Structures are given as structure tokens and as C-alpha cells.
Amino acid sequence: MYETKYHKAASVQDAVAALSGASEGAVLAGGQTLLPTMKQHLASPSDLVDVRGIAGMQGVTVGDGTITIGAATRHADVAGNADVKAHIPGLAALAGGIGDPAVRSMGTIGGSVANNDPAADYPAAVLGLGATVVTDRREIAADDFFEGMFSTALDDGEIITAIRFPVPTRAAYAKFPNPASRYAMVGVFVAETGGNVRVAVTGAGEDGVFRHDGMESALASDFSVASAAGATTSQEGVLNDMHASAAYRAHLVNVMAERAVSKAG
Amino acid sequence: MTDGIGARVARKEDKRFITGKGKYTDDIRMENQAYAAFVRSPHASAKVTGIDASAAEAMEGVIAVHTGPELKADGIGDIITGWAITSKDGNPMQCGVWNPMVTEFARYVGDAVAIVVAESQDLARRAAEKVSVSYDELPATVFADHALETDAHQVHENVPGNLIFNWEIGDEEKTDAAMSGAHHVTQIDITNNRLSPNAMEPRSAVAVYDEAEDHYTLYTTSQNPHVARLVLSAFYQVAPEHKLRVIAPDVGGGFGSKIYIYPEEIACLWASMKTGRSVKWTSDRSEAFMTDAHGRDHVTTAKMGFDADGKIVGFHVDTIANIGAYVSLFATATPTYLYGTLWSGTYDIPAIYGTVRAVHTNTVPVDAYRGAGRPEATYMIERMMETAAREMGMDPAELRRRNFVKEFPYQTQVLLQYDSGDYDALLDMAQDAANVSGFAARKAEAAGRGKLRGIGYSTFVEACGLAPSAAAGSLGAGVGLWESAEVRVNPVGTVEVLTGCHSHGQGHETTFAQLVADRFGLPIDSVSIVHGDTDKVQFGMGTYGSRSGPVGMSAVMKALDKVEIKAKQIAAHVLEASEVDIVIEGGEAKVAGTDKTMGWHEVGLAAYTAHNLPEGMEPGLKETSFFDPVNFSFPSGALICEVEVDPDTGVTEIVQFTAADDFGTIINPMIVEGQVHGGITQGIGQALHEGVVYDDSGQLLTGSYMDYQMPRAADVPSYTVSHGCTPSPNNPLGLKGCGEAGAIGAPPAVINAIIDAIGTDNLQMPATPQAVWTALQSAKMPMAAE
Amino acid sequence: MNNVKMTVNGKAVSRDVPDTTLLSEFLREDLRLTGTHVGCDTSQCGACVVHVDGRAVKSCTTLAASLDGADVTTIEGIANGGDLHPMQAAFNTHHGLQCGFCTPGMIMSGIDMVNRFQADGKDLTEEAIREELEGNICRCTGYHNIVKAIEDAAGTMADMAKAAE
């Protein structure tokens, strides 16, 4: 690992100050992706700002038709949270299926969303539910947040403090894991909220998570497994690598959509 | 005797491992410890035109940077191969030269170019990145089936057309005649996928040079420390044997990958001398994928001829084996004498002929990996049987039974003489355990859930405990293949057994002690097993090829025989009886038919006090044996796999896996079952998950667990394992060896089951979800009009 | 450099560590607790699993500097004097290890899953054990006996928890 300076932030202000003073700062939110990347000399931030000690960034709050999750809340705590399970069980199940138990004890929702790994699970939930990304300085709608592989609307030094999810009528996530890494090779999150259907796909897109318009209209007219199966998934812009061809991935998008619809009930 | 042969004894060595007190190489830290990292070629094929280490050398804490030419100038020898193969035209094989570090050409991604020694591991790695190497990139040859094409880049100047050898076995004329007269001929074109061994402990070396004594000590992750010392001394000229001690402490798995003496160990020893520091190198997993010898990688066309009754009349094989950039220690024996000699499988085949062309490519050297040649042979034969059965409309089990070898010893057409076996009985046992008669109902039930259920068979015979030394030598082996043992009875009656075998998961500290417990009626806690240190054990060949039982334990038995004879002489003398009347059991020497006894510890004490020994007897109670078997041993088995394929995703679930094996005598059933479970899982890994992938330019695409799928707990079921027993007549215990069986037998059972499920055999390993889904799609396509 | 104070296996420790030191390095090199192993670079093999504040984590993917004040338990800290932890004993009884390299991580993950399932009142079935072992790779045993060991230890741990009530 290249040299870096570790900061433990006590408050959001503290964290923002530390980042703004760094030549190339990075938020340490759980480290489950960042630290392996640093170990392999693929990333070399000058400063690491640890936000896990910030009291206001932890935990789950139930609002009026919303669930707000602090950015430093760990996957295991989202998966096990009674409110998340009661209001958005599909989200709790998604969190419970990220990585493995040890990764879920350290990784956080904010870290996952900020990193926007094209094979991560959370971006599918954030986009699929039409959540709002709350930062130290503004709120960003999910549709405006994800800008491509490992790229988001966050400015330099901007910190996600929470994610606010609308409570859907029904929602579920189905994932086909990459056989080796177990990240999503294809993950589909379907949600119906106030008569509105959204479908977000992770793992399959060359530009990261995306909404599947055709699937959304198919499910909007008939929220059923059959209509998920019948929607057309284009191979354009779909990842093609040694693990899965674009054709196979595109096919899996439909299969995972069917399974997500079936789970959503 | 609760601790004796056949007892299900919990392992003695476990305590240190379950409490975190194991001592692996990377756990060792010497005084004055420095750390090494290697500068490695990022190109599969390139000429090194310059190395500028100044930036690295200038870093604080960097001790030295040394390169290949310096190592060569110091007289360190080239890396050797241990088995000379003769081509069918009578010419000796042609191998490229392997310098431990690159002197001019880098020939695979990861080829070591320089060693950096620094005060910490992290610093050494960062400094290695600062070594600036200039490369002229060259074209690369990557794939076995391309290496022999005229447009393929020649990997070594002295190996024309990349052909190392073109070896043949069997009778060509007889086979051609048999095939031309066959009622039915089945042909298959298959690949045997390239694998990375992935012992969980990465390789590591700690080299310690003692200038005052001009002596070296190497702690290393080795399956065979004595062979390492021999090769490091005799061929690499690191130090003469009496000035080099090699210690293989606790080793975290091997599977073949830790047999070989790699460039890193050589370079660390040399760097220790150059720097006057202890030098430690520990591989990370990425380095392991890039440098640990890979396994398998064959491309094969095979044809089998049958008569109208389904009896095999002839078998013809043509294989290209990818050996990689350099010829590793057992790389030439693996695709020849451990492969072609097994082409008869479990069957009586009257005519066999085949060739193996071994080729250089710009990839990591390929060598023996769990099973070594025998999985490749078994996969080919057993897929052939299944395909042939389908083509001829026969039940695959019945086709096998019709062709099984039934009388032993059986002389095959490919050198080997099988010692004993009962293949029908094993297949019966497996079919009963797998409830084959209920399969149709299970298939129907699965169909109701939208799943395609299939059943697949594999029967195998393998050859373990490669032997005898003289025969191996006549076929080109550079080493003997015997094993040594020394049994020391201490004055208090406790026993130490020194063995040249090495335990890196096999449980020798328990099973070898069971032999002593059985012989003298002692508790295994009073027996210690000593291994893995060239200063303690005189010599030995190590552990690989399932040899520790049939060869290593046999040496222990021979030494025990000698100890028993002397102990009886002492007891007879002390008890004033005849030697023939002495029996040793329950920890006592007794005069049969009397109440005269002396404790085992009293026999030991008498031997060492020497106050009252038979006239002319030397004091002490310690005996040595070197056991050289007269033949291999031949374990066999029948495996049945049931899978369910999800047609929507191509995912294969193994729902039932049954193995019935014949390992001859079993010392500890619990440990043997553990070996079978692990072997089957590696076989399932090969069949479903694992495959090293290079791109066309020789870049390794599967360089970490992000891209190389290891079987995980949820990928495999619990197994049903049972045993038959036809003891081997070739060693005193009747042992056959069990370490590799699962990895040998499992892959074809899995693939045959998938083929049965999806109804097409257009499928190669690994049968990933994508591969199975693709095969299903192609099967749905209408056949192209001819 | 950061001064880090932790409780490791019940003992208070205090060390100055570089900012880049991983918990696995801290345990192995600074404290010489070499039972925690490192088998990969990508947080997948699980040989390095330890408990931090009662949860299983991958020590190779955790900075020591971030754990000031933490309570860490490693494989060396789970036996009670001479008495093995039931999970350790079960691995021995069921031959749940061969080379032993993945074993510390397997045992620490095994204890963690039993604790979580028992806290949630859930049944730790064979299927659940296999799923829970997602982040622990073994190359020797084929998992068969590891699963049996964890199943057995779960029973013993439940009995012990009942007896303690």
C-alpha cells in the first residue's frame, strides 16, 4: 500500500475539512472495496477520511413514507433492521446478499453508492426505488446521481450523509452473481411506488447501473412475471466479458426481472 | 487396539492448527530479517533491453536490487526438468533454457526479471515498481492448439516449431487394424482446462545465509524438502548439500504446486548471500496465479472402436499438451507416463495407440496438479464411454461393465500391469448408494419444478506410488522413487518415526503413528512423527502422487519389522525365553503361554543401558529402511453424479454425488474420507468453475479470486462415500493411495451428468452457467441443412 | 503514525502503527499472533477473519488505525485456558481441517454465524451454513466436514447458552 494519512472524522464538518485539505482525499466508509484496491496499488489516496465514527451518519430513520439510512450504516445493520424489513423488505434482502458476512459487517451503504461499482448491488436499489442521495451540501435524485462506471454526481470533497428511500408498494431484487467474484453479474431491482414502476439493472451495463425503460413500461401495464419475460432487453451497451457475453447478460436481465417480480408479489 | 490400523482416530496435529499455533513459513521471522519482492515481466513475450534500478536503489530502506545476468554470472544454474522423454522418432526432447531470472527474454507474464531486497515487504513491493525495465515486445504464442502452427511465434530459439517432444505409446499398426474393422467408432474432441492449484497458503521462502559457517538454511513451502535440497545443490549450485538445510514447516496445502523448486527460492538464497541478510519472500495471491505451476491444459482428439456387442476393439488418442514457457520439474512425465499409461482405464482394451505432442507457449509453466495426467486420461476415457453408449443406444453403466477388466493382475497395452481390483463391485456399490433405480422418478419430479435432471457416471483406475526406481529410471526419470523411514525407540519407550514424506494436510502425524500403535500396542500419543527437515531426516522423496501411504508407510513398516526383531531378541534374552515365543502387544513384550512379561519401556531401557544384551548385540533400538516398491498401486473407483440444470440461467446444481472407491487397506477411514471429499471438490471445480484464461496476447485474465472461481461451500453438496477393498499385493500393508482419486474421477461424472440433463454433448469444461446456457441454446437451434 | 489502543484477546495493547497497517499485519507482525492468515488480496478467502467488537471481519481489509478502542478476538483467544472452544473441538472431532491454513478463519466465521443465528432465533441448517461460508475458501476438505463441525458446534453452543441461563 502506498503511504496515506488516516483521519478519523468526528463530524461531517470535520470530514469535509479533512477532505478539502487533502491533495487527493478519499472517504473511508467501510473500506471493503477501497482497501483491496489500495493494497494492489490501484489507488493511492493521499488521505483517508474515516466517516464511520460520525454519530449522525449511522442508523435507520422512518419518516412519512420514507426510510432514511445513514451513509455509514453497515450492510448487516440494514439487512437486520426491523424498519427496513417491515417497509422495504426487498432492500433488506439486497443488503443481506452483498458480499459475505464479514464484508457485510464492515461495508456501508454510503461507501457502496459513492463508489458506483458497475457490479455493486446498492446502486440498483437506489435507482430502482428512486431514492434521494443526501450529501453534506445538497440532495441529489437517484436519476441524476449515477453518471457511469465508478462515476457519480458527487463533487470533490462532497460526502454522502444518508440515502432516503421512498417506501414502495412492492419491490424486490434478484441477483445473478458472477461465479468468481460473487458481485452482481446481473442484478435487477423492480419497484412499484404510487403506481409508478421503476426497474434498475446493475452488473450488466457498460456505464454502470441503468433503468430499463422497456421493462418499466411492460411492468407498468401489467406487473407480472409474463410481462417481465416478454420485455425486450437490447444487447447494446451491455457488458461483454469472459464471464458473460452480452447476449447471455441481456437474457439474464429478463430472467432476473422475472424473479424479482415474482418475489415482489 | 483403539489407535491402530483402521481406527477412526482424530488427528493429533489438529491442536496447533485450531488454536492458531501452526508454524507456516510466513510465520517465521529471523533476526536481521529483510524482505524480497520481484520485478516481473508485464509482457508474455519480450526482449529485455535494459534495467535501470537506480530509482529503487535510492529509496530509503532498499538494501539491494539484483538481476538475472548477475545471478547467472555468480554461477547459479538453470532450472531443470526431472524426466527426459524420447520422441517417437528416437530423438531426445528439446527444452527451452530456464534461467531463474530473465537474462534476455521474458517468456510469460510474471517471469522474474529482478529481485528487490528491502527492510519491509511493503517497501520491497513499492521499490520493485520503481525498477525501470525496457522491453521490446515480441509476438506471443498462447494456446496449445496454435503452438504447432507455422505462424506461431517460436518461444525458444532451440525448440523448432515449439515442439518439445512427440511421444508415442502402444501399437499403432494393431490399433489401426482394429479400428478399421470396428462395428462402430466414436470420436470426441475435448479440451482439458488449464487450472491454477490454489493451495490456500501462498508460497513463501525464508533464506538464511550464515557467513561464518558458509551455510544456508531455507524455510520453504515444499512438499519435498530433500528433493529441493538436492536440486538446489546439484543443479543450481547454490551450495553443496552439507552446507544447505531445507526445512518445510507447516505447509498449507500443495496439490502438486509445492513440489517444484521455483525461481523465487533460488533467488532468495542467493540474495541472502549477496546481502548478508535473512531474506523472506511471500507470494500474494496475484503472484500465485502468475507464477505457481498450472495444471492440465490438453487438447485431444480420441477415437474408440467397438464391436457389435459394445466390446472395445481399439483406442486411438492424439493429444497436444501445453507445457508453458519453461519445462518444469515433472512437466514432461505428467502428460506421458502419468497419462498415456492410463489410457486403458478400467477396461480391457486389446489395442491402444496414441501420441502426445508437448509444446512451449508464452504462459506459466504447467506441471503436475492433483492427479497429474490421470485426470486427463480419465476425463477422456469416461466421456468417450458415455458418448459411445449414447451413440450405440446402450446404458452407459452396462457398456462399462461389458468392458471392465475382470481378472488381475491385468497387463494393459500401455505398459502398466494393474495389481488388483473389482470394478463391478464398486459400480454396484455406487449404484446402490446413489439409488440409481429411483433416478427416473427424481428426474420427473425435477421436471415439474422446471429443472433438467441428469445422471453421470465415471469409473477410474489410477496409478499411485510411482515405482520401481529402476523402471522409472529406464523411462527417463532423473530421481529414484523409493521412500525412507527411521524408527527410533527411546530409552523410555516412546517412539519417533522419521519419514521422507511430508505432510501438508494429509495427517501423517496421526496415520504414521497408527502404524506404530498397531504394531506394539502403544497409544499414538507416545509416538512422534518427524518430517520436513533435511537435518533431521536423512533423505526422502516427499509427498505427491498419493505415494505417502503405499511407499512412505511401507518404509515405516519395514523399519518396524527390524525394530520388532531386535526388541524380541532383547526381550527373549532378558526374560530367558526363545525369540519365537515373544509376542509384543498392548505395550508389553510377553513370553507366549506364560505370565512372564516386560514393559515396552523396559525393552527400550534395556537396549540403551546395554547392561544385559545378547552377546554381540549393538546397543540402541533404532532402525532404518528404504522401501522401493516393485510396482505402482492401482486405486479405482466408481462415481455417480446427479445434477439439476436451470434452463433459464444455465446454472448447474450438484444435487447428489456418490463415490465408491477401492484404496486397498485403509489406515484411518476419517482421513481417507476427507481426502476423497477434497479431491471430489477439486474435480467439481475443474468441471464447473475453474479455468485459467489468457487472452490472445498472453495476458492472464484470471489473476485473482475476482475472476477465477474457486468452489465454495454452497457450490457443492455433502458427499456419499464408501469403500471396497482389494489390497495391493505390492506393499506390506496392501495400501493403494487415496489423495488424488476424487480429483481424477469427478470431472467426467459431473460433465456426463450435465450432458444427460441438457441432451447435447457440445460442452467443454468448465461448464459455467454461460457455457451450459449456450449449449442449451445451440441444442434448440435446428440442425443446419447438409 | 497513530497510537492505537485495543483489547486483543482480553489484553490491553497499545502500539504506534503506520497509517497503512492492516489489522492482519498488526496482529501478525506487531503482536506476533500468527494464527490469523492471509490467503488472498481481494477479501475473498477469509483466512484472516477475526472478531472486532463481536462481529466477524476480514482483518486484511481493515486498517489498524481505525480500530482505536476496539475489542479484537483472534483464533488464539477463543479457548478458555486449556479448554478448547466448542467450535475448535468440533473441527478436530469431525476432521474439519487438513492443511490448517484456512482453519482459523473458518472457526472464527463459524462462531460468528452460530452467535448471529442463535441471537436471531434462527435454525442454522446445512444450507444456511454453506451460504454463510460464502467468504471462506477451503481447498482441502471439500467443506463436507467443516459443515458437519459447525453443525455440531452449534448444538454444543446452544446447550451451553441454555445451561448458562
Count CA within 13 A, CB hemisphere, residue B715: 31
Beta strand pairing call for A184-193 and A196-202: antiparallel
Give one DSSP letter per residue of B394-460, joined into a string. --HHHHHHHHB--SSSEE-SSS-EE----HHHHHHHHHHHTTGGGHHHHHHHHHHTT-EEEEEEEEE
Helix segments in chain A, DSSP class H: 12-20, 34-39, 75-80, 82-87, 89-96, 101-104, 109-115, 122-129, 142-145, 213-221, 225-230, 246-264
Confidence grade of residue C114 (pLDDT, cut at 50, 70, 90)? very high
Of B250, B674, B706, the CB nearest to C100: B250
B711 contacts in A (CB within 8 Å)? none
Count of B-C CB contacts under 8 Å: 174
Query: Three-state SS string across A208-247, please?
Result: CCEECHHHHHHHHHCCCHHHHHHCCCCCCCECCCCCCCHH
Alpha-carbon span B338 to B632, nearest angstrom: 11
> Would the CB atoms of B679 and C95 count as touching at under 8 Å?
no
Name which of B657, B637, B679, B429 is nearest B546 in CA terms: B679
- pLDDT of A43 reads 94
> Would the CB atoms of A101 and C116 count as touching at under 8 Å?
yes
**Interface check C68 vs A, CB under 8 A:** yes
Of A181, A244, A251, the CB nearest to B706: A181
> Would the CB atoms of C43 and A182 count as touching at under 8 Å?
no
Give one DSSP letter per residue of B133-168, joined into a string. EEEEE------HHHHTSTTSPPSSTTSGGGEEEEEE
Alpha-carbon span A253 to B500, nearest angstrom: 56
E strand or H helix at A140, and its extent? Answer: strand A139-141
Give one DSSP letter per residue of B255-310, joined into a string. TTTTTS--HHHHHHHHHHHHHTSEEEEE--HHHHHHHS-BB--EEEEEEEEE-TTS
Phi/psi of residue A260, each to 5°? Answer: -65, -45
> Would the CB atoms of C103 and B17 count as touching at under 8 Å?
yes
- pLDDT of A75 reads 98
**Options 3.90.1170.50, 3.90.1150.10, 3.30.470.20, 3.40.718.10; which CATH number does B15-138+201-252+258-291 get?**
3.90.1170.50
- pLDDT of B100 reads 96
Instruction: Residue window 397-426, chain B: list those with CB within 8 Å of chain C.
Output: none
- pLDDT of B588 reads 96
**Options 3.40.50.2300, 3.30.1050.10, 3.40.50.1100, 1.10.150.120; which CATH number does C86-164 get?**
1.10.150.120
Is this complex scored with an ipTM above 0.95?
Answer: yes
**Interface check B122 vs A, CB under 8 A:** yes
Residue type, B752: N
Grid cell at residue A171: 419491490
E strand or H helix at B40, and its extent? Answer: strand B33-40
- The answer to whether domain B482-627 has CATH 3.10.20.30 is no
Which residues does B622 contact at the CB level (< 8 Å), separation at least 6?
B486, B487, B488, B489, B563
Q: Which fold has domain C2-77?
A: Ubiquitin-like (UB roll) (3.10.20)
Query: CATH 3.10.20.30 region(s) of chain C?
Result: 2-77
8 Å CB contact between B255 and C140? no
**Interface check C116 vs A, CB under 8 A:** yes
The verdict on whether omega for the bond into residue B491 sits within 30 degrees of 0, i.e. cis, is: no
Please determine, for residue C164, whether its predicted confidence score (pLDDT) is greater than 90: no
pLDDT tens figures, A35-75? 999 999 999 999 999 999 998 999 999 999 999 999 999 99
Orientation of helix B741-758 relative to helix B669-684, angle to 10°: 50
Grid cell at residue B318: 492424439
The residue ranges of DSSP E strands in B171-214, in sequence order, are 184-192, 204-210
pLDDT tens figures, C44-65? 999 999 999 999 999 999 999 9
Of C20, C43, C109, the CB nearest to A36: C43
Please determine, for residue A3, whether its predicted confidence score (pLDDT) is greater than 60: yes
- pLDDT of B480 reads 87
How far lies A73's CA from each of A38, A65, A67, A114, B144, in Å? 22, 20, 13, 13, 50
Chain A positions with Cβ closer than 8 Å to B: 1-2, 40-41, 176, 179-181, 183, 242-245, 248, 251-252, 255
Name which of C101, C93, C102 is nearest B23 in CA terms: C101
Tell whether A139 is covered by a domain: no
Alpha-carbon span A89 to A168, nearest angstrom: 10
Q: Which of C98, C124, C133, C134 to mutate to test the interface with B (most CBs of B within 10 A)?
A: C98
8 Å CB contact between B155 and B45? yes
Domains B298-466+631-780 and B482-627 in one fold: yes
Query: CATH 1.10.150.120 region(s) of chain C?
Result: 86-164
**Interface check B713 vs A, CB under 8 A:** no
- Among all residues of chain A, which has the CA nearest to that of B770? A244
Q: How far apart are the first and last CA of chain C?
A: 45
Of A183, A244, A255, the CB nearest to B648: A255
- pLDDT of B466 reads 82
Q: What is the largest CA-CA distance in chain B?
A: 95
Name which of A85, A73, A94 is nearest A167 in CA terms: A85
Which residues does B665 contact at the CB level (< 8 Å), separation at least 6?
B5, B6, B725, B727, B728, B733, B734, B735
Of C20, C55, C66, the CB nearest to A105: C55
8 Å CB contact between B197 and B505? no
8 Å CB contact between B499 and B513? no
- pLDDT of B785 reads 37
A2 contacts in B (CB within 8 Å)? 126
Instruction: Residue window 247-266, chain B: list those with CB within 8 Å of chain C.
Output: 250-253, 255
Q: Which of B121, B194, B648, B686 to mutate to test the interface with A (most CBs of A within 10 A)?
A: B648
Of B251, B679, B711, the CB nearest to C99: B251
- Residue B246 has a CB neighbour count (10 Å cut-off) of 27
C1 contacts in A (CB within 8 Å)? none
Phi/psi of residue B139, each to 5°? Answer: -65, 155
Count of A-C CB contacts under 8 Å: 85
Alpha-carbon span C18 to A239, nearest angstrom: 40
- Among all residues of chain C, which has the CA nearest to that of B657? C144
Please give the residue that has the higher pLDDT: either B475 or A216: A216
Of A6, A52, A182, the CB nearest to C65: A6
B29 contacts in C (CB within 8 Å)? 29, 32
Q: Which residues pair with B527 in a beta bridge?
A: B495
Q: Which chains touch C (3 or more CB pairs under 8 A)?
A: A, B
C61 contacts in A (CB within 8 Å)? 31-32, 35-36, 103, 106
How far is the alpha carbon of B287 from chain A, nearest alpha carbon, in Å? 11
- Please give the mean pLDDT across all residues of chain C: 97
Number of domains in chain A: 2
| Domain layout of chain B by residue ranges | 15-138+201-252+258-291, 298-466+631-780, 482-627
Instruction: Residue window 94-153, chain C: list those with CB within 8 Å of chain B.
Output: 95, 97-104, 107, 126-127, 129-131, 133-134, 136-147
**Interface check C58 vs A, CB under 8 A:** yes
- Residues of chain B with pLDDT below 70 are 1, 781-786
Beta strand pairing call for B588-591 and C11-17: unpaired
Give one DSSP letter per residue of B651-682, joined into a string. -EEEEEEEEEEE-BS-S-HHHHHHHHHHHHHH
A3 contacts in C (CB within 8 Å)? 18-20
Tell whether A250 is covered by a domain: yes
Which range marks the domain in which residue A257 is found? 170-264
How far lies C110's CA from each of A171, B342, C10, C56, C81, in Å? 32, 42, 20, 9, 20
> Would the CB atoms of C19 and A3 count as touching at under 8 Å?
yes
> Would the CB atoms of B705 and A40 count as touching at under 8 Å?
no
CATH architecture label of B298-466+631-780: 2-Layer Sandwich (3.30)
C34 contacts in B (CB within 8 Å)? 20, 23-24, 26-27
- Among all residues of chain C, which has the CA nearest to that of B506? C98
